[in-house]
Amino acid sequence: MALNTVDLKVLAFVQNLLEDEVDVNPSMIEEKISIALSIKKEWSETLNRDAVIAELIRRASTWVGDNATLVNNEGHIPWLNQDRKQSWRYWQRYRELQEKKLSWNIVEGLNKSTDQILSNLEDPNRDGPWDRRGLVVGHVQSGKTGNYTGLICKAADAGYKIIIVLAGMHNNLRSQTQIRLDEGFLGYTTSLIEDEIHAVGVGLIDKDPFIRPNFATNRSEKGDFNIKAAKHLGISPEQRPWLFVVKKNKSVLERLLKWIENHVANTKDKDTNRKIVTHLPLLVIDDEADNASVDTGEQQFDESGLPDLEHQPKTINRLTRQILHTFTRSAYVGYTATPFANIFIHERGQTIKEGPDLFPTAFISNLSASSNYVGPAKIFGINSENGREGGLPLTRQVKDHCSLDEKTGWMPTKHKNGYIPACEEDHGIPASLKQAIESFVLTCCIRRLRGQKDDHCSMLVHVTRFTSVQGVVKEQVEGYVEWLKQRLVRKIDYSTVIENLKSLWEEDFVPTSEKIYKVNSELASKNLITWAQIEDDLPSAISEIEVRAINGFAKEALDYADCAVGLKVIAIGGDKLARGLTLEGLCTSYFLRASRMYDTLMQMGRWFGYRPDYLDLCRLYTTDELVEWFEHIADASEELREEFDLMKASGATPREYGLKVMSHPVLMVTSRLKMRSSKSLYLSFSGQSVETVSLLKDQASLRSNLNAFEQLILGMGCSEAVPERDRKGSPGRQWLNVPADLIIQFLVDYKTHPAAMKVNSKVLSDFIQSLTMQGELTSWTVAIMTKKQNKDKSVPCFFLENKYEIPLVTRKHKGNSEDRYSIGRLLSPIDEGVDLDDNAWLEALKLTRTAGVNDPGRTSNEPESKEPANPSGPAIRKIRGFGAVGVPKNPQRGLLLIYLLDPSEIKDYSDISIPVVSFGISFPGSDSGTKVKYEVNNVLWEQEYGSEY
């Protein structure tokens, strides 16, 4: 239920009273409300007590974990302490602003997080030249803007004078960022027209004009930095801090650089004669730092590892570095949810004009999300050998957007600019899109009835990158919305439409809300709304809905900040909606974009974020294939974060992490330009696990792989049973001390699916062979993992060595690919420890628990778990390779896990005599740094993964 003005005042008052309480409960809240009303008796006349109590309980139950950070303190002088923070007014007023909207736990988490980031920068009052560069990695749509706004406030309090925010590549994203910083830092609306400037946000909390920061850009669509406005700016060290919110655009950055050189610089470099700024400390915040800021040109290094100082970086990277290089005292902090490209920046990259590249040499910090954040793990669940676990029932399958060959239909996967989408359905749009629009109409209506009438409510339609095609889609969607409005408002042909909406409500909304409420009552409200209420309110709800195109050519914008009441909008767009731009109150998404690159696809996930009291109403209409890709990305991202946690526990630096991730096979699926190689990839599998999840299913290939497996068995001799340990692992047969040449031959003979880009048997065999030459991976454990026999029914078996029955393992077939048998997860994490004795197992478990972070953004919807019961895969591989107390290091020992899958899972396949041979390899950790070259044809890459955007 919406809170009125008095409710908000009581809420803020009571929240302050509850701040130091440990166990907040309804009776305690009632008691504090009574105290508030005894002081302000007039509040009791309009107070909605139940709504205030419910909101305070929600806030009290919300929590946030701690950041995990890798730090390099070389040359850094610790400086941030409590005494330094005593008179920080910018931060104090921002904190008070946040406390009106967020729980005290989250605000305190923001305080700790920004303190940690700021402390890893340099003291702005420190004399002499210094340069600190860091990277902050958050979850998609998790509040990164709020975090860097808090950081800016504290940096300004500490003494940073020039603050530049690189805010994306489009005007509307830059404008949106400016609006948020107007509210959170400046305290007034930015405009070139004096009469349009008025106090907002923090400016209503502390109105002192003597602390008001200066602005060089404004909130209008054309409010970027320009020479005309710059003529009126004067910079001196005595003045208050200056804020510049600029696009990553060549002309804008060139203008800004030239202005800094001509109007801010106070001296020249003695060696190069460059104009430089020595009297003002600079802070650059790079929002979406993996986009455009990375130098995609390949800088050359000599045999000693020294860079080519005459290298010409790409434009945005070049200008950003030149701006930083103009200041002798500077700090750079990149923010992103997809840091893959940033990690690929060469840690020693440097040129004469630009100075060092943007690699985060000082720190990399992983932000924790709050417990009410809805991210990939909550939506898609966690992958396991039994399928996805813990996801939410919010996705709806789209099958009717194109033909089976993907070349025709309403929106073929590969279409060109100028394409005119059309289909034989009424209104020229597929039934799935019509249902998505109807779902959004219902959601707007239900949110109104839940008291969220004045809140923003958005729908995303993201089906093409081409603006011309977006224009046609906008007309089609607008036409259908107008058709619905006529029927619901004017009652024309009313009965059919209302029956369709009622069916959607009863068959989709009611059961979905009930399921989510049962899974996690904090994420959804108990449904107390009737169909009669909905039917009565539908005319009002649909009358508020607008359809807008959001792209580089459309004149429309998502002006949430200027909307007196909640904006109800269906946004049609592409790249502008793909990165950074927040869709306030996003409820319904219709998403068909086909890029499969990790960073690009993850950034398109605008539906992640915070959905208080309406998560159960949210819907994602997309294809099964894209859901599978998002699941895959979520799993890969989590494994990288686990690796990060282990390195933090061992005190590693950003440079060590960068070197580790640069050779990570899971990151093959990102922009190959950002990986600094247009022809080949150099991969290391050390400390990684790989598994076959895309499998060939034609009979010839299955027979060939079975033959490869049987030849391996013959070469290894007699097996022994996998030892029974109290680990709840899978039973099976194993061989110890298997020579590497047998493993290499098996991989040479085994045929992996061409689409399995990360599990290529030839590349794996080459890698193993390369390491054997250095004395590693020479002795292997090979295990066939099975499952326990079910006494109630027979399980298909394979006869090993003509005497052992090996029960076939079941893995569900997912997806609709005609040429492959796709599964979600092959390995059970516990199985990776099959070759560890009890001491090594316990050390891996200890390491897992030590490295563990309390980040609710990385958990699914299962009840909050206690300490991990089993070690993680990365910890197992680390202990196997590097050892621990009482555990010898053993990079010589690799682990090959083989699973014989039941082929009955394959559609239209019935030959049970040929199991599907699948494998996983667990590589021990290693310091060798050995990599193997992997050639990838550019055409094949584009066919498989699509273009970057």
762-777 tens-digit pLDDT: 989 999 999 999 999 9
Are 19 and 98 part of one and the same domain?
A: no
> Is residue 886 in some structural domain?
no
Digit-coded pLDDT (tens) for 257-295: 999 999 999 999 988 899 999 999 999 999 988 877 877
Contact 477, 570 (CB under 8 A): yes
> Is residue 860 in some structural domain?
no
CA dihedral over 137, 692, 875, 725, signed as positive or negative? positive
408-444 b/e with 16+ CB inside 10 Å = b?
A: ebbbbbebeeeeebebeeebbbbebbbbbbbbbbbbb
Q: How far apart are CA 561 and CA 567, in angstroms?
A: 9
Q: What is the mean pLDDT of residues 792-821?
A: 79
Q: Which domain holds residue 19?
A: 5-61
> What confidence score (pLDDT) does residue 746 get?
97
Are 689 and 566 part of one and the same domain?
A: no
Contact 406, 589 (CB under 8 A): no
Are 385 and 482 part of one and the same domain?
A: yes
DSSP per-residue letters across 57-109: HHHHH--B---EEEE--TT------TGGGTT-HHHHHHHHHHHTTS-HHHHHH
* pLDDT at residue 112 is higher than 90: yes
* pLDDT at residue 695 is higher than 60: yes
Q: What is the mean pLDDT of residues 497-502?
A: 96
CA distances from 332 to 275, 321, 672 (A): 20, 10, 25
CA dihedral over 772, 777, 780, 785, signed as positive or negative? negative
Residue 81: CATH number of its domain: 3.40.50
User: Amino acid identity of 702?
Assistant: L
> What confidence score (pLDDT) does residue 424 get?
86
> Is residue 651 in some structural domain?
no
Query: For the range 516-521, what are the long-range contacts, defined as Cβ-Cβ under 8 Å and sequence gap of 24 or more?
Result: 516/392, 516/393, 516/615, 516/616, 517/616, 519/392, 519/861, 520/861
Q: How confident is the model at residue 313 (pLDDT cuts 50, 70, 90)?
A: confident
> Is residue 851 in some structural domain?
no
Q: How far apart are CA 181 and CA 459, in angstroms?
A: 25
Are 328 and 404 part of one and the same domain?
A: no
- Give the best-scoring range by mean pLDDT among 264-278, 361-375, 652-666, 919-933: 264-278
* pLDDT at residue 394 is higher than 60: yes
Determine how many CB atoms are found less than 10 A away from the CB of residue 490. Answer: 10
Given 366, 394, 417, which residue is the final one in a domain?
Answer: 366
Ranking 142-151, 447-456, 663-672 by mean pLDDT, the lowest is 663-672
> What confidence score (pLDDT) does residue 397 get?
92
Q: How far apart are CA 853 and CA 847, in angstroms?
A: 12
- Count of domains forming the chain: 4
> What confidence score (pLDDT) does residue 245 get?
97
Determine how many CB atoms are found less than 10 A away from the CB of residue 779. Answer: 16
Given 311, 341, 366, which residue is the final one in a domain?
Answer: 366
Strands 130-137 and 275-276: unpaired
Name, in order, each residue with C-beta under 8 angstroms of 838's C-beta and a sequence gap of 6 or more: 725
> Is residue 587 in some structural domain?
yes
* pLDDT at residue 864 is higher than 60: no
Q: How far apart are CA 380 and CA 78, in angstroms?
A: 42
Contact 271, 261 (CB under 8 A): no
- Three-state helix/strand/coil letters over 239-289: CCCEEEEECCCHHHHHHHHHHHHHHHCCEECCCCCCEEECCCCEEEEEECC
User: Amino acid identity of 710?
Assistant: E
3-state helix, strand, coil in the chain (%, to 5): 40, 15, 45
β-bridge mates for residue 282, sequence order: 162, 330
Are 487 and 547 part of one and the same domain?
A: yes
Are 699 and 802 part of one and the same domain?
A: yes
Nearest to 733 by CA among 838, 803, 811: 803
Ranking 97-106, 337-346, 750-759 by mean pLDDT, the lowest is 337-346
Are 496 and 467 part of one and the same domain?
A: yes
Q: How far apart are CA 296 and CA 630, in angstroms?
A: 25
> What confidence score (pLDDT) does residue 791 get?
57
> What confidence score (pLDDT) does residue 668 get?
45
DSSP structure class, residue 182 = I
Three-state SS at 160: coil
- Give the best-scoring range by mean pLDDT among 312-316, 573-577, 801-805: 312-316
Are 607 and 726 part of one and the same domain?
A: no
Contact 191, 197 (CB under 8 A): yes
Digit-coded pLDDT (tens) for 778-798: 999 999 998 766 554 567 888
Computed on alpha carbons and rounded to an integer, the radius of gyration of the chain in Å comes to 29
> Is residue 362 in some structural domain?
yes
> Is residue 436 in some structural domain?
yes
Q: How far apart are CA 902 and CA 449, in angstroms?
A: 50
* pLDDT at residue 939 is higher than 60: no
Are 110 and 30 part of one and the same domain?
A: no
User: Amino acid identity of 60?
Assistant: A
CA distances from 417 to 467, 511, 655 (A): 8, 41, 42
Digit-coded pLDDT (tens) for 159-180: 999 999 999 888 888 998 999 9
β-bridge mates for residue 350, sequence order: 356
Are 239 and 123 part of one and the same domain?
A: yes
Query: Nearest 5°: phi and psi at 129?
Result: -75, 140
* pLDDT at residue 815 is higher than 70: no
Q: How far apart are CA 614 and CA 931, in angstroms?
A: 48
Question: The whole model's pTM is what?
Answer: 0.81
Are 353 and 432 part of one and the same domain?
A: no
Given 339, 366, 393, which residue is the final one in a domain?
Answer: 366
> Is residue 522 in some structural domain?
yes
Are 246 and 319 part of one and the same domain?
A: yes
